[in-house]
A and B are shown apart, each in its own frame.
Chain A
Amino acid sequence: MNALGNYSLYIAFGLSVWGVASAYLSYRNRDERYLRSALHAIYGICGLVVLAIILLWAALLRNDFTLKYVWEYSRTTQPAIYKITALWGGMDGSLLFWCGLLAIFSALAITFNRKNNMRHLPFTSMILLMTLGFFLFLLSFKTNPFEPLRDSAGILVSTYTPQMMQGVQGNGLNPLLQNFYMAIHPPMLYTGLVGFAIPFAFILGALAHRERNTFWMRSARNWAVFAWMTLGVGILLGGYWAYIELGWGGYWAWDPVENASFLPWVMGTAFLHTFLMQEKRGIYRFWNVFFIVMAFLLSIYGTYLTRSGILQSVHAFGQEDPSIPWYFQLGNIFLLFMAIMAIVSFGLILRRRALLKSGQELESAGSRESMFLYGSLLLGLIGFVVLFGLSSPIFYRMVTHHELNRGPEYYNPRILPIALMVLLVMGIASVSPWKKGGWASYRKQLAIPFVAGLSALVASIFAFLRGGQASLADFHSRPLTYIYLFACVSFSFFVSAIILEEYFRTARQAHRMGRAGKLSCLLSPFRENPRRYGGYVVHLGIVCVFLGVAFSATFQREYQESMKPGDAVRFGPYVVRMADLEHDDLNADLQKVNDVRIWADLQVFRGNKLVALLRPMRVFYSANPQQPTYEVAIHSTLMRDFYTLLAGFDLNSNSATIGAFVNPMVAWLWLGGVLLLVGGLTALIPMRKW
């Protein structure tokens, strides 16, 4: 069956080549026969790539080590769940998964738009088929997951007898990836990255077909919301994985690959806001096209960075063999595709520039329309700061052959002030009046939120001063950090008050107008206007993320102590007693078990009260026993996380080094992620008639 998997990729590539030609002919000749043929190609590719994925999964599950990919990323002792997730654990499989998602989304998108947007489909399907064709080219000729395994003598393992195959274990999935959150983080992330291809193709399609009317954009908008939401949740899940798996007490390090996934998200956020203005006022047409083109190109750029080996990151997929000719190196093939898509996109923008002119002028710098533009431009600015930080080390290395590291010291001072401005604009834009605006309207709507923001500022300064000399000394050592923190607290209360005030006003209005009862009016904003109030739930989620980041980054405390069973040690506000240090059978045959664990049983007290029993551990995976992973144990509350890890151990002396972090308000980040998901799903609900 592996041959079928292998050939299905070649057949799908052939279909994509024909599909692009057929879609182009339908665009030139307006002949529906060619369009139907191109659409059939998309459906055919979808079926073939899904078939290839199923066959690769089957090979992984039955330990078919005649395939190189299965040998590299699976192992006989690996639990079934990690044999399934091995699909996206390596480069070839992850590209197949990427391509599979794109094929499914493309097939769904053309099915839902075949009736209403038929006239745009020739160019739209051509863009989708070009993207599919690119990934299928890589899968067929460059990163084929069905490549047969050869031994060191070059003999195909598939020619081995069953006796020769006995004892073959497989290399196994990277131990860091054998984590539940790695089962859901990559699919969410890929769904988001791939999802931007659909609104990108639809918007370019409409532009190519000279569409002035903007109402068709609703379907593109729904795909953009879906992609944006899943990418956002995927990024946060990645942060959670890093938090619990890497044992460093943090969740975000401005790692290049983290940044690469953040870039399309930030451009997608800008698009979703300028889109609202185009829909109602016909303005920001250029910005809409620009932001969605950037979101798509940057999602490809992120895929290129992770897979070309150009970046060194915990998430990257490894280096390219330098003996391969330059024109066939993966990174250069990616660059060529990005260049083609950029030329097509920006060439089209240039050719259709007359269509992208706004029909209307902005009437006031304080209007809702202006506020949305300020917010989107600030988001775009964040995107470009991150893009520069991400790309400049690559160019620097090319020119000077020296390394340039861009870490928090580059990003934080540049991003934080802009991000705080975005937070502020996010609040003000919610109450800003349409068209001519008028400051009188602001005065009325911002009075309560202003008092809330000011009170929060005063309260946080008082709370800070209660810390006495120690707080002041800390302030003098890092004044900007505290200024950002106070601003963040104040702006967060300001924004939250705006959202809650508007929500209750809308609910009260629905009750007053007789559209809802006394209690049911609390749901009416979501029923009558799910898009806006879903958006506000997302905004509350963003506020939670801001607060979580601000407090955990400012007040994180780290501790480390050597302990023996029976010892009790103070870690900040907690007292930890080690009850025991235990382990699995260390003489177990790693050929027969997936992992061996060593753990400490900890009792955590606050005052005299036992608040948690924690079991941090180290796990030695048979796939790579030299690199034991951390399995941290966390006592999590809304106010703080008490994060413990088994930093070291000496079984001869029965002692362990326990590392601990007290991380304030980290749970708010994950709460923000939940609100982002809930708000995003709410915004996708169709509007109910009054």
Chain B
Amino acid sequence: MAGTLLSLVVAVAAFGWVLAPLFGEPTEISQARSTDQIQDAVDRSVRELKTDLELQKIQASDLEEIQNFLETESKR
């Protein structure tokens, strides 16, 4: 009996907490991107490619092309 009562309390608390945000003001979901995160990802890719440049696995012109692509992609 105690377990059933406790379960009832848990159920009310859980649904109360889940439904609580619906009573606030409507707001649109942020469509913003983290520019820091994107720049970090671009930097990381470029650095890996620079290692390949040192190891002669990519030509300088190709690296530049890929870098430009990554910069463009990051602004989409």
Contacts and interface: CB of A to CB of B under 8 A. Distances in A.
Interface stretch (A10-18, A320-328, A650-658): A10-18
Contacts of A435: 58-59, 62, 65-66
Contacts of A8: 7, 10
30 contacts: A3-B3, A3-B7, A6-B7, A7-B7, A8-B7, A11-B7, A11-B10, A34-B21, A37-B20, A44-B14, A44-B17, A116-B34, A116-B37, A118-B29, A119-B31, A119-B33, A213-B38, A213-B74, A215-B38, A216-B37, A218-B37, A281-B69, A282-B69, A431-B57, A432-B57, A434-B58, A435-B59, A435-B66, A441-B56, A445-B57
Interface of B: 3-4, 6-7, 10-11, 14-15, 17-22, 24, 26-34, 37-38, 41-42, 44-45, 47-49, 51-52, 54-59, 62-63, 65-66, 69-70, 73-74, 76
Shortest Cβ-Cβ A-B pairs, 4 listed:
A3-B3, A7-B7, A36-B21, A215-B41
A280 B49 contact: yes
A687 interface: yes
Nearest to A435: B62
Nearest to A42: B18
Interface residues on chain A, size class: 35 or more
Contact of A436 (B4, B10, B33, B62): B62
Contact of B28 (A30, A47, A444, A528): A30
Contacts of A33: 21-22, 24, 26-27
B72 to A, nearest CB: 9
Nearest to A48: B14
B46 to A, nearest CB: 9
A230 to B, nearest CB: 24
Contacts, number: 160
Nearest to B28: A30
Interface string A646-672: 000000000000000000000000000
Contact of A30 (B24, B29, B51): B29
B19 A7 contact: no
B36 to A, nearest CB: 9
Interface stretch (A501-509, A544-552, A575-583, A592-600): A501-509
Contacts of A397: none
B24 to A, nearest CB: 6
A212 interface: yes
A280 B70 contact: yes
Nearest to B36: A116
Contacts of B57: 368, 431-434, 441, 445
A212 B44 contact: no
A214 interface: yes
Most buried by B among A121, A215, A279, A431: A215
Contacts of A68: none
Contact of B7 (A4, A216, A360, A368): A4
Interface in A275-298: 279-282
A207 to B, nearest CB: 15
A34 B66 contact: no
B74 A532 contact: no
B67 to A, nearest CB: 10
Contacts of B65: 435
A40 B58 CA distance: 48
A532 B17 CA distance: 44
Given A214-B73, A360-B69, A435-B65, A509 B55 contact: yes
A32 interface: yes
Given A119-B31, A441-B57, 4 more contacts: A4-B7, A14-B11, A213-B76, A434-B58
Contacts of A281: 66, 69
B60 to A, nearest CB: 11
Contact of B33 (A7, A213, A502, A690): A213
Contacts of B69: 281-282, 359-360
Contact of A690 (B20, B41, B47): B47
A564 interface: no
Contacts of A34: 21-22
A19 B18 CA distance: 8
A531 B73 contact: no
A339 B42 CA distance: 38
B28 A15 contact: no
Interface centre among B10, B14, B29 (most CB of A within 10 A): B29
Contacts of B62: 434-436
Contacts of A119: 29-33
B48 A32 contact: no
Contacts of B26: 31-33
A36 B6 CA distance: 26
Given A40-B21, A41-B18, A214-B73, A35 B55 contact: no
Contact of B74 (A14, A215, A360): A215
Given A279-B41, A280-B66, A436-B62, A11 B52 contact: no
Nearest to A47: B14
Contacts of A436: 59, 62
A142 to B, nearest CB: 20
A171 interface: no
Contacts of B73: 212-215, 282, 359
A1 B3 contact: yes
A37 B21 contact: yes
Interface in A25-63: 26, 30-37, 40-41, 44, 47-48
A115 interface: yes
A159 B52 CA distance: 72
B45 A280 contact: yes
A687 B7 CA distance: 47
Interface string A514-532: 0000000000000011011
B34 to A, nearest CB: 4
Contacts of B10: 4, 7-8, 11, 48
A37 B11 contact: no
A529 B51 contact: yes
B19 A434 contact: no
Contacts of B52: 434
Interface in A200-233: 212-216, 218
A2 interface: yes
A118 B54 contact: no
Contacts of A214: 73
A124 to B, nearest CB: 12
The winner among A18, A48, A116, A434 for most chain B CB atoms within 10 A is: A434
B2 to A, nearest CB: 8
Nearest to B75: A213
A215 B37 contact: yes
Contacts of B63: 434
